[in-house]
Amino acid sequence: MKKRMRLSVLAAFALVSVSLSAGSYAAGAQKKMGFFVTSSGSGKGADLGGLAGADKLCQSLAQAAGAGSRTWRAYLSNNASGGAKAVNARDRIGRGPWYNAKGVLIARNVDQLHENNNLTKQTALTEKGAVVNGRGDKPNMHDILTGSDPQGRAFPANMDTTCGNWTKSGEGSAQLGHHDRLGVRAGAFSEDPAARSWNSSHPSIGCSQDALRRTGGDGRLYCFAVK
């Protein structure tokens, strides 16, 4: 009886130790987190309240996830139109390195992010560490708002790829990336490489929440910790 009781106590102690270790790892990964895909959008399509509103969304979601001590920015470009200056997404996100909510390295610096990063459906996680629906899932949510070209820069001023610099939720268009790196015909040799781009695949069919969903997204953003 005593031996059985002793074994039960040891088993319980081991279970508690494993739980504490897992909790410590999760807390450490969250503290290290410097990148995530937003678990939700603005709810108003591509109307994010401009860059300031998009940054606020990133910051608030990071705060709720326990990473609010860092400064967060949305990976978005602005067009030089209507008196506004062009803004490049790549210039807004700090120097790196960036890790996801599980502590997995996404990219060491800006150049690697735009050349040979570690972004896939399995690594482009939300601030909660959840996988985002991709091509083949229902509903598909792999379109992420960026307004950027493949190098993370703004398009020419005569091309509105930002839904009026992130203030429109009706007519217009925004450039999108695929967080899962999959196009319509994944693996097809003849497929345009842009279809597999994480930050510059194609334009949306509109700026409303419904239009973004019909295109293949949900109005979500990439968020990066500046420091």
Per-residue pLDDT of 199-221, as tens digits, reads: 999 999 999 999 999 999 999 99
Domain 32-225 has CATH 3.10.100.10: yes
Under the banding of pLDDT at 50, 70 and 90, the label for residue 129 is very high
Query: What letter does residue 165 receive in the DSSP assignment?
Result: H
- The answer to whether 175 and 147 have CB atoms below 8 angstroms apart is yes
Measured between alpha carbons, how far is 201 from 69 in angstroms, rounded to an integer?
Answer: 32
> So what's the pLDDT on residue 86?
95
pLDDT tens, residue by residue, 39-57: 999 999 999 999 999 999 9
Average pLDDT estimate for 115-131: 97
The dihedral sign for the CA sequence 90, 66, 45, 205? positive
In the chain, domain spans = 32-225
Question: Average pLDDT of the chain?
Answer: 88
Q: Torsion angle, CA of 140/141/143/144, rounded to 10 degrees?
A: -170
Q: What is the pLDDT of residue 4?
A: 53
pTM of the model: 0.85
Of residues 21 and 151, the one with the higher pLDDT is 151
% pLDDT > 70, the chain: 82
d(CA 136, CA 185): 11
Encoded tokens for 134: 């991709």
User: Could you tell me which residue, 21 or 141, shows the higher pLDDT?
Assistant: 141
pLDDT for 184 beyond 80: no
pLDDT in tens, 55-102: 999 999 999 999 999 999 999 999 987 777 899 999 999 999 999 999
Alpha-carbon torsion 48, 37, 141, 145, what sign?
Answer: positive
